[in-house]
Amino acid sequence: MDKKIPLFYALKDYINKKRPAFHMPGHHRGKGIYKLLKDEWGENIFLYDITEVEGLDYLHKPEGVIKEAQELAAKAFGSDYTFFLINGSTVGNLVMLSSTLKSKDKVILQRNSHRSVIGGLAVFDLEPIYIQSEIHKYSGIPSGIKPEDYEDKLKNNSVKVSLITSPNYFGMCENIEEILKIGRKYDQTMLLDEAHGVHFPFNSKLPLTGIKIGYDMIVQSAHKTLPALTQTSFLHIKGNRVDMDKVFDALTYLESSSPSYLFMVSLDVVRYQMESEGEKIWNEIIDLSNYLREEVNKIDGFYCFGKEILNDEVYDLDLTKITINTKKIGLTGFEVEEILNKKYNIEIELSDSYNILIFLTPGITKEEIDKLIITLKDISIKYKKRPIEEEVIIPEIPKMAVTPKEAYINEKEIIELKDAKGRISGKVISAYPPGLPIVVPGEEISENILNYIYDLKEKKANLQGFIDVECNYIKVLK
Ligand SMILES: Cc1ncc(COP(=O)(O)O)c(C=O)c1O
């Protein structure tokens, strides 16, 4: 068994030796921890909370047990090399960008890329070429890019690296195979933010993973859908386009020099769990998700989409993500989330103006799902109003006036929205739905953009990126 979960057993052995220790962490194997915390959390967690010590290898230069654990992960996921990440896919995205691009390089990416990608542009001084997402009309969710739009960007720009995000938060997947084919035609290094798809390799009913078809670097958040600790992720490398030395350097610069063994052991164990039981675990979850979907669709006022939306603006769907549309019940997703929270004591993953999102992950039971179904039936009876009939319109991508880096480091000031025409945004301003940025730092706020924002304000959309709650003040470059 030791060889199958090497890091878990190496740590257990180390702790059982009970050697006198005069080193970090400062809690001295839990003995110095405040009683309140120890009483609540127990003692074991602190014994396991160590950082690199003799015999337990080094994350930034793995030659022993961490190397073994990462090699087993690579085999399980089907990559050529896998890194354990202890700062989430956020650091994974930063590493992918900084190890494949030089300062001032261009990179192709989706407009709705995660903020770690947008941050990476600013920190590493990269120039974005954005591809706008299609919108799934009924739910208002950005559903994916058209492969032909991607090819157009490649035809018209000199660029060497593309960063694709798939699936999105709601489990909608891009046609990653077609996108990869096009990217290779233009000699692209292909990066994939698969933060929400870490479970895909472990069940044949789940969508295709980019690891299988040969993206060069793939980042996945273990903690999002697998039973792993928060902050744990994997970075996978395939093929030989990536300079491994640069990847090691980037990880050394960007991650902690005192990595948590709690996180790394969690990754080692979850890899073993998925390898040995993943097919069964995800079969059960897919069955439960189909059951939940069917039952929700019997309730007046709620609609939960399944694979019938494929080819509609969506290429593939992760069935374990349950998006429940609330338009027909006449409540926003935000309102339904609040009712679930305050009146029924139920927590969900997120909500937007037209939807709530439910995650089904290992450990979920039919009893919990039945409770949710009964609750939604009750809400449908007690709270139903006139259906919402709105469609999401998205604006054009604004002109980039200065680079993301200039926008990040240069001075900014707060102004009233009414005076913003022609100014350069210092923040991401976005609205839900569809959750796409309207402007990002460095982009010009044109009259059209301003009118679009005023229109959203009138509709009482959920706007983000303002200084005040009334959404009257924004930050722009001086
Ligand atoms: C698409 C996407 N990429 C990356 C991240 C960052 O992941 P993490 O929370 O593991 O740092 C997120 C987080 O929500 C995400 O949605």
Distances (CA, A) of 353 to 138, 306, 331, 377: 12, 20, 8, 20
pLDDT score at 434: 78
Torsional sign, CA 116, 117, 119, 124:
positive
Average pLDDT of span 233-260 = 97
CB of 225 closer than 6 A to ligand 1?
Answer: no
Average pLDDT of span 132-143 = 90
CB of 325 closer than 6 A to ligand 1?
Answer: no
% of the chain with per-residue pLDDT over 70? 100
Dump pLDDT digits (tens) for 452-472: 999 888 877 889 999 999 999
CB of 442 closer than 6 A to ligand 1?
Answer: no
Residue pair 107/99 in contact by the 8 Å Cβ criterion:
no
pLDDT score at 67: 98
User: Please, which pLDDT band fits residue 261 given cuts at 50, 70 and 90?
Assistant: very high
Atom of ligand 1 nearest to the CA of 93: 4
The Å distance, Cα 199 to ligand 1 centre, comes to 15
User: Please, which pLDDT band fits residue 121 given cuts at 50, 70 and 90?
Assistant: very high
Q: Which residue has the higher pLDDT, 343 or 55?
A: 343
pLDDT score at 63: 96
CB of 114 closer than 6 A to ligand 1?
Answer: yes
Does the pLDDT at position 142 exceed 70?
A: yes
User: Please, which pLDDT band fits residue 52 given cuts at 50, 70 and 90?
Assistant: confident
- From 84, 89, 109, 112, the mutation candidate for ligand 1 (largest count of ligand atoms within 8 A of CB) is 89
Q: Which residue has the higher pLDDT, 443 or 21?
A: 443
47-56, 113-122, 152-161: the lowest-pLDDT one = 47-56
CB of 110 closer than 6 A to ligand 1?
Answer: no
The Å distance, Cα 171 to ligand 1 centre, comes to 13
Continuous segment of H or E residues that includes residue 93: helix 88-100
pLDDT score at 53: 87
Closest CA to 59 of 83, 79, 76: 83
pLDDT score at 312: 63
User: Please, which pLDDT band fits residue 137 given cuts at 50, 70 and 90?
Assistant: confident
Cβ contacts of residue 32 below 8 Å, gap of 6+? 26
- From 116, 235, 349, 436, the mutation candidate for ligand 1 (largest count of ligand atoms within 8 A of CB) is 116
DSSP string over 118-140: HHHHHHTT-EEEEEPPEEETTTT
CB of 166 closer than 6 A to ligand 1?
Answer: no
Does the pLDDT at position 54 exceed 90?
A: no
What is the per-residue burial (b if ≥16 Cβ within 10 Å, else e) of 171-205?
A: bbbbbbeebbebbeebebbbbbbbbbbbbbbbbee
Dump pLDDT digits (tens) for 412-423: 999 999 999 999
Q: What is the mean pLDDT of the chain?
A: 95
Domains of the chain: 58-259 (3.40.640.10), 278-383 (3.90.1150.150), 404-477 (3.90.100.10)
Average pLDDT of span 140-158 = 95
Average pLDDT of span 283-297 = 98
- C-alpha angle 371/375/376, rounded to 5°? 120
Residue 191: strand pairing partners: 163, 217
> What are the φ/ψ torsions at residue 410 (nearest 5 degrees)?
-80, 160
Dump pLDDT digits (tens) for 355-378: 999 999 999 999 999 999 999 999
> Checking DSSP bridges between strand 172-173 and strand 316-317, what pairing results, if any?
antiparallel
CB of 89 closer than 6 A to ligand 1?
Answer: yes
pLDDT score at 231: 98
Average pLDDT of span 313-323 = 95
> What gap in Å lies between CA 111 and CA 210, rounded to an integer?
20
> What gap in Å lies between CA 200 and CA 203, rounded to an integer?
6
> What gap in Å lies between CA 129 and CA 110, rounded to an integer?
8
> What gap in Å lies between CA 111 and CA 131, rounded to an integer?
6
Dump pLDDT digits (tens) for 151-202: 999 999 999 999 999 999 999 999 999 999 999 999 999 999 999 999 999 9
Does the pLDDT at position 401 exceed 70?
A: yes
Dump pLDDT digits (tens) for 204-230: 999 999 999 999 999 999 999 999 999
